[in-house]
Amino acid sequence: MLPTRRLIALFLSPVLTLATFAQTAPAAGADGEKITLETAIQRALAKNFAIKVEGFEAAIANARVTEALGKFDPVFNGSYTYSESFNPALADATTGIRPAASFSKTDTADLSLGGLLPWGMTYKLGASSTNPRGTFNAYADNYDTFAGISGTQPLLRNFGPGPTLASIRIAQANRGISQWQFRQAVIDTVTRVIFAYHDLNFFHANLRSAVRSKELAQQLLEENRKRFKVGSMSEYDVTSAESRAATREEGILIAQRLVSEAENALKQLITDEKSPGLLTQRLSIEPPPPSPIVVVDAAADFPRALEQRPDYQQARLALKRDGISARLQRNQLLPRVDLVGSYGYNGYDTDLGTSRRQVRDEDYHAYSWGVVVSVPLTFTTERGRYRAARLQQRQSETQLERVEQDIVVRVGNAAGQIETAQQRVQATRHARELAQSTLDSEVKRLRAGASTTFFVSQQQEILSSAEVREADAQSDYAKSLAEYDRQLGVTLAKLNITVEPPK
């Protein structure tokens, strides 16, 4: 169905040949900046808000990958604790006398470097020193020092790089989806610019036609007045011509409004201006070159669409992401069995330096190992998460199939639009040529006294409608080519546009 504005233009159909369309300067926007379609696309790439917004999404997704990679960053920890404690003693059972309370104080220092390894092991490399003293040892220093490494290696749940790297791989898949979304936003915006540019060109032609139509009606009126004065034409013919000329003034006003609205639509796509001044800026365009006649084969182009269409690539990445999530949740159904261990060296002396030296000299080693088992009785939470993840994966599989079917239909429809538009261009051109020939004949008959003003005006309107419909068909043909490229996902390649999502 044609847009409302396009229908208005067609029904108000002014008179003008297509040659005049190309040669006459635009009546609206002539004093404004003149741009080409290429310039309009370049400005849209730089300033369009839809592209900017989607660019932030791509940058955010890229930051999420950095966030996920941070899980492997080593973490440095340091602590120092000082504590004091008074501990009351029990009263003597015989005498009932309560001894003096004991007193102790402790200094504890700890330094460590720990983190996570890709196969799921958590580690901690560090050293600690404790110095407890008090009434129990006459406040003598006793430095207990340890340095070594400890770790926990999952054997079932969270074992291996699969579960450990899952969050990173999911973030990377989401980043890929956002990059394709950004590409889709650019393709859609460029296509809308092409549409808006050709729409504006059509409405400029419509306005020029309306002006020219009034001029022809005025010329007919002047000619009728001259003939009325010499008695070769009736007063009715003069009045009829006056009525036609007055009616076409309304067509100019409406055509001017349509041009203004089409200008605003294009300006909104190619500028980031936000003030009301946007509405007062004038804009004119270079007439686009004629669109080439092309023959498309939807079936042959279908594999190319699968390769280039952003929505299909997004669906593939979503399926990959949900597959990773499902495998992760399946792993979480396993019981937790962790191998734990530590190895290091001890030092103990009343002198801190000696205690540390004992550790450095590896005089007194210490190690431990063991197994920690944790088994939920029902796995209710884990089973629910795994079932949801599997359903999500199946949903993504179905969505991929739906997108593939949708591509078949959309590419086929777009190819059909090209064929229909080509036929419309030929048919409307032939209709315009016949209407022009008929009008020329009717004017000759009027001058010979064999016709009336009514028939001439009526034929002018028929020619007007034919010419505007031909311009509309040419505009729709150009847009159908752009739409076909969009459905194949090759718009940017066709226009030699390279886009990189913001980092």
304 half-sphere exposure, CB direction, 13 A CA radius: 16
Instruction: Look up residue 471 and give its amino acid.
Output: A
Mapping DSSP to helix (H, G, I), strand (E, B) and coil, where does residue 78 land?
strand
The whole-number pLDDT of residue 23 equals 34
- Domains of the chain in start order, with CATH, are 4-65+167-322+390-494 (1.20.1600.10)
- b/e per residue, 456-488, with b = 16+ CB within 10 A? bbebbbbbbbbbbbbbbbbbbbbbbbbbbbbbb
Tokens of 356: 């540390």
Mapping DSSP to helix (H, G, I), strand (E, B) and coil, where does residue 97 land?
coil
The backbone region for 33, taken as left when phi is positive above 0, alpha when psi lies in -120 to 50, beta otherwise, is beta
The whole-number pLDDT of residue 241 equals 74
The DSSP annotation for 313-364 comes to: HHHHHHHHHHHHHHHHHHHTTS-EEEEEEEEEEEEEESSHHHHHHHHHTT-E
CB atoms closer than 10 angstroms to residue 106: 15
What value, to the nearest 5°, has the Cα angle with vertex 358 and ends 357 and 361? 85
Q: In degrees to the nearest 10, what's the CA dihedral of 119, 120, 121, 122?
A: 140
Q: pLDDT tens, position by position, for the chain (503 residues)?
A: 445 455 444 444 433 332 333 333 344 344 567 899 999 999 999 999 999 999 999 999 999 999 999 999 999 999 999 999 988 877 777 777 877 778 899 999 999 999 999 999 999 999 999 999 988 888 899 999 999 999 999 999 999 999 999 999 999 999 999 999 999 999 999 999 999 999 999 998 888 878 877 877 777 778 778 877 877 777 777 787 777 778 778 888 998 999 999 999 999 999 998 888 888 888 888 888 888 888 999 999 999 999 999 999 999 999 999 999 999 999 999 999 999 999 999 999 999 999 999 999 998 999 999 999 999 888 899 999 999 999 999 999 999 999 999 999 999 999 999 999 999 999 999 998 998 888 888 888 877 777 777 777 778 778 878 888 888 999 999 999 999 999 999 999 999 998 887 77
The whole-number pLDDT of residue 3 equals 53
The whole-number pLDDT of residue 95 equals 79
The whole-number pLDDT of residue 128 equals 95
Pairing of strands 102-116, 75-87: antiparallel
Tokens of 144: 């207990």
What does DSSP assign to residue 33?
E
The residue to which tokens 């809308």 are assigned: 192
Instruction: Look up residue 160 and give its amino acid.
Output: G
The whole-number pLDDT of residue 29 equals 40
pLDDT digits (tens, 9 = 90+) for 177-220: 999 999 999 999 999 999 999 999 999 888 887 887 787 777 77
The residue to which tokens 């009336």 are assigned: 452
Q: How far apart are CA 8 and CA 406, in angstroms?
A: 33
Q: How far apart are the first and last CA of the chain?
A: 41
The whole-number pLDDT of residue 445 equals 82
